[in-house]
Amino acid sequence: MKMTTSVLLAGTMIIFAVIFVIVVLIPTYQAEVKPSEMVRMRTEIEEEGRHIYIANGCTYCHSQYIRPQDWDLGAERIAKEGDYVLDEPVLLGSIRTGPDLSQAGGEHPDDWHRAHFTNPRYTRPESIMPPFKFLGDEKVKSLTAYVQSLGGKDADARVSRQKHWHKILTEAYDKGPDSNVAILHRYIPEMWINMPNPYPATEAALKRGERIYQSFCLGCHGPVGDGQGPAAKYLYPPPLNFTVLNRTGVSGGIFYYQIMNGITGTAMPYFKRELESEKIWDVSNYVMINFVGKNDANTEPRGIDAAYEPVDTSTKQGGK
Ligand code: HEC
Ligand code: HEC
């Protein structure tokens, strides 16, 4: 056969049509995707929030799927096709300028979202997410409801855990600083309570700690650690005023435990996925010395051996 233009064109079209049938049409009509175990119907307000999410281009920065190779996200769950049966359009997204949100529900309580949507720099001083205050309270509420629904039934379980602890912690906060600190420390394992900060509070460590404090903590706990950062007016219970810890038996281990795990039911987020161990000890030293007004760094029992740092043996406080 002679390869004329029309033969080439017809051949191309035939090949294209065959591929289209195999890759698109057959799977569309054959694949019977069943809802996965976490799927549930969205409520009206969550559905409204989803429209606001689409209208404001959240998908340009946030994905909603976790692949097997994404374990480094700290994912509890790999996405399944059945997770998306109720979504039209599906909001997978392809860019992760911000974190994946497919399991965002219940990661933070509602008050954290209120502060974060008003201005992300309030809760995360170096965030590049734009503020959404212009949406107004009603829309921010719907958007929050939608984000809290991400993860379906799994998210519902996390949200109800947040609510459970929120009630207990709010009641304790309302009774005054002593009962507040008592409840904050009540559930921390003995081992952590008795553990001093194993790293000496050297000048370098305190400088690193200051840098971490400014990048992660300042928006809530405030520049002088009194809990009066710009996020404070949106949060209840408000960020802790570190000075109240001066007359309590607070330890480096307690700080480590709280910073690593966060405090469920309050806006205090966990940092286990963002701050390496040493950074948590450094920021603890910084906060203890500058805001709490006492520190147990590098005293006995040392627990973790911080041998790589020069240890000043002439004083119990190490390099402080
Ligand atoms: C320019 C990119 C960008 C856009 C647009 C954007 N975000 Fe973000 N988002 C981020 C970044 C970066 C972070 C991480 C820092 C932070 O917490 O602000 C983030 C964090 C978040 C978090 C917290 C996740 C967590 O696990 O802590 C939520 C929830 C969120 N965004 C929701 C939204 C919603 C809803 C919209 C649309 C109204 C949106 N974002 C638009 C970049 C963006
Ligand atoms: C989004 C706001 C927010 C951010 C960001 C935040 N915190 Fe908190 N923090 C809180 C709240 C709220 C509490 C608990 C308030 C309560 O229930 O009294 C808290 C409590 C704590 C406690 C508990 C103290 C104790 O004795 O149990 C420590 C320690 C702490 N924060 C350290 C930090 C450090 C360090 C950072 C930065 C790495 C940080 N926080 C970032 C809001 C925040």
Q: Kindly state the DSSP code that residue 218 receives in the 8-state scheme.
A: H
Pair 186, 239 in one domain:
yes
70 is written with which tokens?
Answer: 């994404």
Q: Could you list the residue range(s) of the whole structural domain that residue 236 is in? A: 176-292
Give per-residue pLDDT as tens, 168-191.
999 999 999 999 999 999 999 999
Residue 221 CA to ligand 2 center (angstroms) comes to 7
Q: What percent of the chain has pLDDT over 90?
A: 84
Please report whether residue 128 resides in a domain. Answer: yes
Pair 135, 229 in one domain:
no
Average pLDDT, the chain: 92
Please report whether residue 187 resides in a domain. Answer: yes
Kind and range of the H or E run holding 122: helix 120-123
Pair 143, 55 in one domain:
yes
pLDDT of residue 83: 95
Neighbours of 224 (CB within 10 A): 14
Give per-residue pLDDT as tens, 195-213.
999 888 999 999 999 999 9
Distances, alpha carbon 308 to alpha carbons 123, 199, 316, in Å: 33, 10, 17
48 is written with which tokens?
Answer: 């409204």
Residue 224 CA to ligand 1 center (angstroms) comes to 27
> Which of 159, 194, 210 lies at the terminal end of a domain, its last residue?
159
Pair 147, 185 in one domain:
no
* Burial of residue 17, with CB atoms counted within 10 A of its CB: 0-12 exposed, 13-18 middle, 19 or more buried: exposed
Give per-residue pLDDT as tens, 226-284.
999 999 999 999 999 999 999 999 999 999 999 999 999 999 999 999 999 999 999 99
pLDDT of residue 304: 57
Q: What percent of the chain has pLDDT over 70?
A: 94
In short, whether 221's Cβ falls inside 6 Å of ligand 2 is: yes
Pair 189, 257 in one domain:
yes
Please report whether residue 94 resides in a domain. Answer: yes
Q: How confident is the model at residue 319 (pLDDT cuts 50, 70, 90)?
A: very low
Handedness of CA 94, 95, 100, 104 (dihedral sign): negative
225 is written with which tokens?
Answer: 């650690």
Residue type, 149: S
Pair 194, 278 in one domain:
yes
Please report whether residue 112 resides in a domain. Answer: yes
Distances, alpha carbon 36 to alpha carbons 28, 82, 85, 155, 255, in Å: 18, 4, 8, 14, 39
Please state the length of the chain: 320
> Which of 95, 124, 159 lies at the terminal end of a domain, its last residue?
159
Q: Number of structural domains, the chain?
A: 2
Please report whether residue 309 resides in a domain. Answer: no
Q: How confident is the model at residue 147 (pLDDT cuts 50, 70, 90)?
A: very high
The whole-model pTM stands at 0.90
Give per-residue pLDDT as tens, 104-128.
999 999 999 999 999 999 999 999 9
Please report whether residue 217 resides in a domain. Answer: yes
Residue type, 3: M
Q: How confident is the model at residue 129 (pLDDT cuts 50, 70, 90)?
A: very high
Pair 185, 141 in one domain:
no
Residues with CB under 6 A from ligand 1: 53, 56-58, 60-62, 97-99, 101, 104, 107, 120, 124, 127-130, 132, 143, 147
Give per-residue pLDDT as tens, 187-196.
999 999 999 9
In short, whether 259's Cβ falls inside 6 Å of ligand 2 is: yes
Q: Kindly state the DSSP code that residue 317 receives in the 8-state scheme.
A: T
**Residue 77 and residue 103 in contact, taking contact as beta carbons nearer than 8 Å:** yes
Residue type, 160: S
pLDDT of residue 318: 43
Residue 280's CATH number: 1.10.760.10
Residue 320 above 80 pLDDT?
no
Please report whether residue 278 resides in a domain. Answer: yes
Residue type, 120: P
- Nearest ligand for residue 119 CA: 1
Residue 88 above 50 pLDDT?
yes
pLDDT of residue 307: 54
Residue 143 CA to ligand 1 center (angstroms) comes to 12
Q: What does 256-295 look like in DSSP terms, one character per residue?
A: HHHHHH--TTSS----TTTS-HHHHHHHHHHHIIIIIS--
List the residue whose alpha carbon is closest to atom 12 of ligand 1.
98
List the residue whose alpha carbon is closest to atom 5 of ligand 1.
58
Residue 130 CA to ligand 1 center (angstroms) comes to 8
Please report whether residue 262 resides in a domain. Answer: yes
Give per-residue pLDDT as tens, 37-76.
999 999 999 999 999 999 999 999 999 999 988 877 877 7
Pair 199, 279 in one domain:
yes
